[in-house]
Structures are given as C-alpha cells and as structure tokens.
Amino acid sequence: MDQEQLIPDLYRKEYGRMVTVLCSRFGIAYMDIAEDIVSDTFLSAAETWGLKGVPSNPVSWLYAVARNNALNSLKHDRVFQRQVKKDLTIEGERSFEMEIDLSPKNITDSQLQMMFAICHPSIPVEAQVSLALRVLCGFSIDEIAQALLTTKSNVNKRLFRAKEKLRLEEVKIAVPDSREIGVRLDTVLVCLYLLFNEGYYSASQDKVLRRDFCLEAMRLTYLLIGNASTSVPRVYALMALMCFQASRFDARVDDNGELVLYEDQDIRRWDEELIQRGNDFFIRAIREGEVSKYHLEAAIAWWHSHPAEEKEKWENILRLYNQRLILEYSPVAALNRAYAFYRVYGKAQAIVEAEALQLSGNLFYHSLLAELYTGVDNEQARRHFMQALELAGSAAERAVLEKKLDGLK
Amino acid sequence: MKEFALIFRMNGDAAGAADITPAQMQERMTYWNNWMGSIAARDRLSSSGHRLGIRESKTVAPGNVVTDGPYTEVKEFINGFIIVKAQSVDEAVEMAKGCPILFGDGKVEVRPLVAPDDNK
C-alpha cells in the first residue's frame, strides 16, 4: 500500500464502519461521541505509526485501539459516564465490553441498521445524503462540501440538525420489522439514488471523488441485496440502474475533465463488465413482475448501454419515460422525455412538448430548448443558451454551452 | 389547482377489435402512452385511473334485474377515466383535446371532482 495514502485510505474505508458499530452499540443519540472516539483513534494512529512504524495489520490495530478508547471513555469520561453509562448499566458493563464486536458480519449488520436510522422520514433527504456520506461512507466534511458544491459550514449545520432530529425522535438503529419495511426501504432507496446521482452528475471537478460517491452508493445498495428482508425487486432494479450508468463513467468525462455528451462518447470506453453485472441484476429485478420507477429507469439505462437501431431505441426510451412519469412526476424525467420526444418526432413537435413543461430557471430546461431551437429559430436558441449559461454552475458545463453557442454564428 | 376526471366514452356501434390490425393497435397504444406521458410530464396527472372492461360486465336494475353488458338503452359506454390537475375546467378541456379517443368517434367528458368542503 502507498504509505503516503495509507491513513487517508484507511480513514475512507474504516471510519464509517467503526463509527457505525460504536454508534449502533451506544444508540443514535451518541453519534457525536462515537465519531470523537474514532477520530481520536486515527489521531493516535498517525502519531504512533509515525514514531514506531506501521503495524503489520493496521486495520486490526485501529479496531483494537477504537475498542479500548470506547471502553476508556466509558470508564473515565465524565460526560460519557453521565450520558451513556446509565443507559448501559442495565445490561451491565461486562456485556458492553464483550459486545463491541468488530467482526465483518457485525460491521455489515450495523451498516445496514444505520442506513435505516439515517434514512429516517423525519429528516430531509439532502440531510440524509450528507449524513450517509459522513457516517456510512467516511467522507470528510471538506469532500462532502466540495462534491455538493456548498460550504463546509453548510454541511456542518446540515449534519448537526439531522443528528439533533434523530436524537429527538429517538430513532432506533435497526432494520424495521416486516410491517414497516416497505415504506422505510423506499426512503433508503431515494437516498441511495440521490447519493449515486450526486457523484454521477456532480459539477465538481474532482473525478476521483465523484467516482467514489458512485461506488459507495453501489456498495450500500449491495448491502441491501445481501440481506433477506431487503433484497426485493426494486433494490435489484436500482442496482442494475447504477451498474448501467456507472459503465459510462469513464466515457462521459474526457481527459481534460470536460463533459462528453452521450452522442459523442467512445463506446470502447464503456465498461462491459459493469454492463454485464447490470444485466444480471436486472434479470433478478423483473422476476416478480413488480414495476417501480427504478425498473423503468434501469430499462432506459439499458437502452443507453446496449447498441441498438436508433429508431427502435428512442421509441422505447420515450415509451419508458412516459411510463416513468405516469408512475411519478420528476422534472428531470420530464426534460429527458422531451429530448426522447425530439429523437422520435423531430424538433418542431418536441418544442411544443418542452415548452409546456414550464421549468424556466432550470439549467437543463434552457439547454434543452436551446438545442431544440438550433437550426429552427437561432434567435430563440441563442436566448436559451444565454439563460442556461447564467444558470450553469461549473466550468465544464459552461464550456459545453459556449461551444454550442459559438456554433450558432 | 383543481382536480378533474377525464371520462372516456365510446360508441357501442364503433368498429370492434376484429377490424383493427396489430400495427394499428400498436399505434393506438403509442398515442395513448404519449398523451398520458405529456400530461404527466407537466405534473398534471393526479391518477392514471382505470380502464373499464366490456366482457363480464353486468347492469343491476331496481328489483335486482340483472342484464348483460354495461348499458341497456344507451349506445354509449364508459371505457375508462383518468384524473388530472388543472387551474380551471378550460385548462382540463385543453388537455382532453389531445386524447387519442377523439381520433375515432369517442368522446371525453370533463367533470370536476367534488371536494368534501365543496358546497356549490
């Protein structure tokens, strides 16, 4: 392992796991304490390893120290005593000592339980995403702020409020029982879907970080697949969708970090293995005949990931977007439907459909209309390109728009 | 925003399924799919409603007199409905104008949903 990257890598991989295990043991109200214990553990690793060299198994070193730190806190820290110990003494200190279980199985179970706690309907989905990124995936506040294009203090505020809410609601760290699981699982899926999209569509320049977001979303979805009570068809469908989308991750950004539009992508850069995995998950997803929005979006992504005759492809994509919207409205799906409408029926009819959406103030609404008006009414096209440019957040997005605006002249 | 039911009415004498080619059926399906998708894309679809079948339908009249079919005297029958959101009945009518049932000799009836506190 690269020594320079050793601690950052371990932090990324283990921070979330350790916090999650400690927190599931202490209860949701003590998330901050669990985070402090793990942060202290990494700090002592940095100091100790710097002095004495890196131990042969750094992970078990971290787990052993975290376990000790947790027990020491329990014994010595006054605040901790007051807050946690009284809750735990019912079961006795010995059982506590024996139960900080950092085995792979308990890590997986705890993460699954924590996923349901974090994705609680009482907190807004944006806060759920930030909390998942921090606690389940171990991203730093800096990284989260960068990817979500916001400030560190905003992320901190969001996390603080969310934790406060979880504490007040006395949310249990557990997989809900069979009566509740359907509804609660939907909240979890929305969060994971958004987490993936934050990575996939983020305007952030940091390609590695964005890819990590996507991979983490896939890892967490995979945890749901591994559990009997959560491996339902729509979870497989979401997983298939993520695989199909991620297969184009390399193709959609060029070596200079510029966005490559779908039409211009080099098919050789699509990841065949991920497409195949997506196919496998999709077959599992459609076994029971359930049709969720994830099924429809996975089917759309399937058409985008497999070579097909243009007419057949876009007719199917339009049909699927229609179904997707009939099931549940989404502005993004509405805009994509208008684009598919253009590919099937041409620009004139698509302009009518697109303008009916009335989404002015939305970047993609204006860039779509600009695209549709190009060659039909260049003055209108220019107007929409200018509006899109005003709304574009990143240099990469502006570069694409400016190139097209130049092409108008 | 108010809710309106768009009720699809068909003429009982209209051409039966036997006269329609599979290609025409496919085309009809695409029209319906696009029309519903277009309303949904504007976030104006409140419920995708239901299609109502003809086979296995009966009418029960006073005195528990049961007859076959959805109609006895009238030639028109209802074959489905959806519920849309619109600012006014005129706007709901505009949505109904695109309905593929109008390509044949069907009709769309636009009716407001009555809310519990509506006392007009």
Return the pLDDT at A51.
Answer: 86
Contact state of B37 with A326 under an 8 Å Cβ cutoff: yes
A274: its two tokens: 């991920």
Residue B40 within a domain = yes
Chain B contact for A333 (CB, 8 A cutoff): yes
What residues form DSSP beta bridges with B82?
B6
Is residue B79, in this structure, part of any structural domain at all? Answer: yes
Q: Is B87 within a domain?
A: yes
Chain A's closest residue to B95, CA to CA, is: A356
Q: Report, as an integer, the average pLDDT of B51-73.
A: 82
Arithmetic mean of pLDDT over chain B: 87
Per-residue pLDDT tens digits for A361-407: 888 999 999 999 999 999 999 999 999 999 987 777 888 889 889 98
A325 touching B (Cβ < 8 Å): yes
The pair phi, psi for residue A83, each rounded to 5°, is: -80, -45
B67: closest CA of chain A, how far (Å): 35
Cross-chain Cβ contact B33/A321 below 8 Å: no
Compute the nearest-CA separation of A124 from chain B (Å).
Answer: 22
Count of structural domains, chain B: 1
ipTM over 0.85: yes
Q: For residue A334, give the chain B residue with the closest CA.
A: B41
Residue B120 lies in a domain: no
pTM: 0.85
Query: Model confidence over B64-76: pLDDT tens digits?
Result: 988 887 765 667 7
**Residue B48 domain flag:** yes
Q: Give the pLDDT score at A350.
A: 97
In a domain, B28, yes or no: yes
pLDDT, tens only, A134-151:
998 888 898 888 877 788
Which long-range contacts (C-beta less than 8 Å, at least 24 apart) are formed by A389-395? A391/A361, A391/A362, A391/A363, A391/A366, A392/A363, A393/A149, A393/A203, A393/A363, A394/A149, A394/A203, A394/A204, A394/A205, A395/A205
A322–B45: do the CB atoms touch at under 8 Å? no
Nearest-neighbour CA in chain B from A360: distance (Å)? 13
pLDDT at B47 exceeding the cut of 80: yes
In this structure, how many other beta carbons lie within 10 angstroms of the beta carbon of residue A405? 19
Verify whether the Cβ–Cβ distance B38 to A338 is below 8 Å.
no
d(CA B23, CA B27): 6
Q: What is the model's pLDDT at position A95?
A: 45
A323 interface with B at CB cutoff 8 Å: yes
Q: Which of B36, B42, B43 sits opposite A322 (nearest CB)?
A: B36
Chain B residue set in contact with A, beta carbons under 8 Å: 30, 33-34, 36-38, 40-43, 45, 48
- Name the residue type at position A236: Y
From chain A, the residues in CB contact with B43 under 8 A are 329, 334
Find, in chain B, the residue whose alpha carbon is nearest to that of A336. B41
Q: Would you state the structure tokens that stand for residue A87, as one six-digit string? A: 């809750």
List the single residue in B34, B36, B41 with the smallest CB-CB distance to A357. Answer: B41
- Please give, rounded to a whole number of angstroms, the shortest distance from the CA of B44 to a CA of chain A: 9
From A372's Cα to the closest Cα of chain B, the distance in A is 17
B58: in domain = yes
- Is B99 a member of any domain? yes
C-alpha closest to that of B83 among B102, B103, B108: B108
pLDDT at residue A387 in the model: 94
Q: What is the mean pLDDT of residues B14-32?
A: 80
pLDDT at B14: 54
pLDDT tens digits for range B25-43: 888 899 999 999 999 999 9
pLDDT, residue A88, reads 58
CATH of the domain at B9: 3.30.70.1060
| Integer CA distances (angstroms), A184 to A41, A117, A119, A190, in order | 33, 10, 8, 10
Put simply, the answer to whether B42 touches A337 (Cβ < 8 Å) is no
Task: Report which of A89, A105, A114 is spatially closest to residue A22, judged by C-alpha positions.
Answer: A114
Low-confidence ranges of chain A (pLDDT < 50): 1, 92-98
Q: Choose between A226 and B115: higher pLDDT.
A: A226
Structural domain harbouring B59? 2-13+22-112
Contact A325 B37 (CB under 8 A): yes
Give the Å distances, CA to CA, from A30 to A20, A84, A85, A207, B112. 11, 8, 11, 34, 53
